[in-house]
Structure 1
């Protein structure tokens, strides 16, 4: 291990240790109990040092899980509340599929609403629960909790993160705070303004409370600084507004720590990604000469742009409901068609061949499995603990091979296209930008069906960024771009199957 790699190892170890300490410290004085309410996995957060306070039920958004809402739960628990998180049907570790899906929105909304009602009834049985409780929801769940609160007199106050298209009025639900990220889409922010304007009687101002808390007509709007659609639930600004609103609803003055874990998560995962550099030195050298098409910019750009434009057009009217996983089947089809077009372009312009294709698959597979083990243990376990559930249930395990057949086509084509002695500088980044643009075109062509892909595009970009660094270091050691292609394809197939909602 040379000096540079050793220094990277030390820096990565320090970042990981510091990040873990930062993430684990807030839970030191909390009691966290796990339960099952019918088929719904539930977690209950309480302060160890305070008497049980009012109950707040917290709901996650589309393709999320209860881990995603830990910052809200811990912030409220530190303020003396009893916070309840859970997994919706088809999400996280909830084994019940989500009936209806996109085809029958009313049916899926009914099922999810019933689960919120179950959580309300469960919350009212907990120690310290009063006659009323609070609701907090993000994105998809913001709509659901508002609709549940309108029909349920037991709800005293609501905090809706990134709400859009709900049935809120000037007086229903009781005491509503809407929090949007300052970087959110204008449509969401305008919807929040519309809701609060019904109570203000004029153009509402941010962070001004309108209406009367005692009568249940209080309305407030806040923009969390420096946050977008997902970052808003990690924002110190947004979490502080949430806690203060619930304090006003329940006439309390407790403060406590704000679990704004963004910095700790950044340190932990930057350290884990950096650790891949020294670990890559343990991989075998498979090829004495670097392999790959290495076409240079003149040849690469048409091979990258053409699939980006053609794929959404090919899939525009094609049936893509071939797997019981909401939107994951379309995403898999997009990867497969995009990759097949790239391979076709490579074959038409310069058929792949040579000694590199005759490297024994056994060595390549073993190296890919080693990288995949790093993804699963080094990154997967922390993600499952601190971010969102990626531990597949029995049904989800069965879906991974089908997804892998699609993602592997894309990654084999893309890694081969962007690697090699003559590869274009910046070609890897350009190819990923084109893929994201291709998804944006697909959403524009079919917004009703594919709208939720907009929400997960930032997550896909994060995956591409991590894959980019790991691929670079893996390729530098093995000389074969297909090692990273195989591991990246398996890791993404796993992530899609573990996070996208399972439907019936």
Structure 2
């Protein structure tokens, strides 16, 4: 006689081949090892809120029970947040500094949208400088601050940091990472260290030009002046990294620490935080675990989706890429306080609706029965849960703010109205991952091209769509693959598509900056 437990075991375990068991075990080990190493970087560091910053969320990283120390303000880049700068904050804290990271307006868990004129040096930048000054004031008022302060910024944060250092005499040193700034002079800001990634070809000349202002004969890796006297200037290239990877570069972290030590007359020892590789391994482990998990369900009773004829596939894949940007070009909406959010939601919705309409017209889409609808929705919920609550948990703790403040919930809901029909149409086009690879490349490549075409038709208004393109591409590479695993295992592409649509809406809604014009 077979027990219920044995039936359950055979239902689930038999679907895991030795290869899937091996991937499952290796993925769990990778996740566990990565979390262990990342938590070890945080161990022994006191991480607590900074009071007195108003609506700006700010966090101090410092050694517990340490005497008052110099403060280093840590400012993130566009679409960043405090977790993204943890390698910097933890390195500084372990070196004995009080590192104060904060979320700029419109970013992370800051409830106040950015405002002003993004294109004017006297617009949004001035407002972010004022916010930076408030954080400096609050940090210096704390008992753990010894009255000395410096600032470090990445990308947009470096632009604000450099401008703030020119007008704030309290800032003894500035570290600009991935910086581009036309306000630098031969002497201002004082004690400027510039770190560009070796693969940031567009930004390297900016550091070269800024160094030439102080000494045309100086090269990368050479220090002009004396940081201890407030006259230092230095530019270096972090090897083998680009605009994002430089954030976790041990080379960058060591250069920053040594520059601040020279400024404040300190000497720090020990390793810097090494988080980038462990974060990559953690996220890769979570994604890879999706392959065996996709098989831990009852055998699918739904028939396999029929392949689309080639001509129909090409029409449904390519027509929306041309029609949607042209149709939406004259449409302007300002419903949500997020840059290009309304357009992006409309673009997803129109693209998905047109593709689904074509599939329905040809009889390729049929409404399932009530029981099958329930199975599809359960599958969609599981896919969304894995993305938001498993992958998202790792993102929120180690990479960037991934769980929304209340004001962003309506943005996520609006995004879902577009991303769900789009990802549903995508899943049906690629037959739940069973279509040849070239079809996936054509379908998703056409969508990326459509965003580029939309930007070209109205560059001034939709410029920030270019910032979203890498995010969508990364989503396709990682979670499009995961959707294929689920679709092939379940023969229910609709479930995978709806789940991925919900996850994509969440990811876009929590990461892209809020902005209120005026």
* TM-score normalised by length of structure 2: 0.89
Alignment of 1:424-503 (within 5 A): 424-503=436-515
Aligned-partner SS, 2:253: helix
**Cα separation, partners in 2 of 1:168 and 1:450, compared to 1, 3 Å:** farther
Asked if structure 2 preserves the Cα contact closer than 8 Å seen for 1:101 and 1:503, the reply is: no
The residue number in structure 1 matching 2:364 is 352
Asked if structure 1 preserves the Cα contact closer than 8 Å seen for 2:396 and 2:403, the reply is: yes
Asked if structure 2 preserves the Cα contact closer than 8 Å seen for 1:312 and 1:334, the reply is: yes
1:90 aligns with 2:94: no
Within the candidate set 259, 264, 283, 2:273 is matched to 259
Asked if structure 1 preserves the Cα contact closer than 8 Å seen for 2:73 and 2:99, the reply is: yes
Matches of 1:422 and 1:22 in 2, distance apart?
A: 37
Unaligned runs of 5+ residues in structure 2 are: 1-12
Asked if structure 1 preserves the Cα contact closer than 8 Å seen for 2:46 and 2:62, the reply is: yes
Asked if structure 2 preserves the Cα contact closer than 8 Å seen for 1:294 and 1:421, the reply is: no
Aligned-partner SS, 2:168: coil
Larger-Rg structure: 2
| Higher mean C-alpha displacement, 10-19 vs 218-227 | 218-227
The residue number in structure 2 matching 1:337 is 350
| Higher mean C-alpha displacement, 320-329 vs 301-310 | 301-310
**Cα separation, partners in 2 of 1:285 and 1:107, compared to 1, 3 Å:** farther
**Cα separation, partners in 2 of 1:451 and 1:209, compared to 1, 3 Å:** farther
1:28 aligns with 2:40: no
Asked if structure 2 preserves the Cα contact closer than 8 Å seen for 1:289 and 1:479, the reply is: yes
1:195 aligns with 2:210: yes
Asked if structure 1 preserves the Cα contact closer than 8 Å seen for 2:388 and 2:506, the reply is: no
The residue number in structure 2 matching 1:16 is 31
Matches of 2:259 and 2:327 in 1, distance apart?
A: 49
Aligned-partner SS, 1:367: helix
Asked if structure 2 preserves the Cα contact closer than 8 Å seen for 1:332 and 1:403, the reply is: yes
Asked if structure 2 preserves the Cα contact closer than 8 Å seen for 1:184 and 1:229, the reply is: yes
Matches of 1:410 and 1:177 in 2, distance apart?
A: 45
Unaligned runs of 5+ residues in structure 1 are: none
The residue number in structure 1 matching 2:331 is 318
Within the candidate set 163, 166, 191, 2:179 is matched to 163
The residue number in structure 2 matching 1:235 is 249
The residue number in structure 2 matching 1:279 is 293
Matches of 2:117 and 2:506 in 1, distance apart?
A: 21
Asked if structure 2 preserves the Cα contact closer than 8 Å seen for 1:54 and 1:82, the reply is: yes
Asked if structure 2 preserves the Cα contact closer than 8 Å seen for 1:294 and 1:424, the reply is: no
Deviation at 1:262, TM superposition (A): 1.3
Asked if structure 1 preserves the Cα contact closer than 8 Å seen for 2:211 and 2:234, the reply is: yes
Give a deviation string over 1:355-398, Cα, whole Å, max 9, x none: 76887322211111111111122111111111111111111112
Runs of 4 or more, structure 1, over 6 Å off, are none
Deviation at 1:141, TM superposition (A): 1.3
Matches of 2:315 and 2:264 in 1, distance apart?
A: 61
Aligned-partner SS, 1:322: coil
Deviation at 1:108, TM superposition (A): 2.6
The residue number in structure 2 matching 1:361 is 373
Alignment of 1:36-55 (within 5 A): 36=51, 37-48=53-64, 51-55=67-71
Matches of 1:93 and 1:273 in 2, distance apart?
A: 26
Deviation at 1:424, TM superposition (A): 2.8
Deviation at 1:47, TM superposition (A): 2.3
Aligned residues: 500
Matches of 2:344 and 2:181 in 1, distance apart?
A: 25
**Cα separation, partners in 2 of 1:292 and 1:415, compared to 1, 3 Å:** farther
Deviation at 1:153, TM superposition (A): 0.1
The residue number in structure 2 matching 1:149 is 165
Matches of 1:441 and 1:189 in 2, distance apart?
A: 29
Aligned-partner SS, 1:44: strand
* TM-score normalised by length of structure 1: 0.91
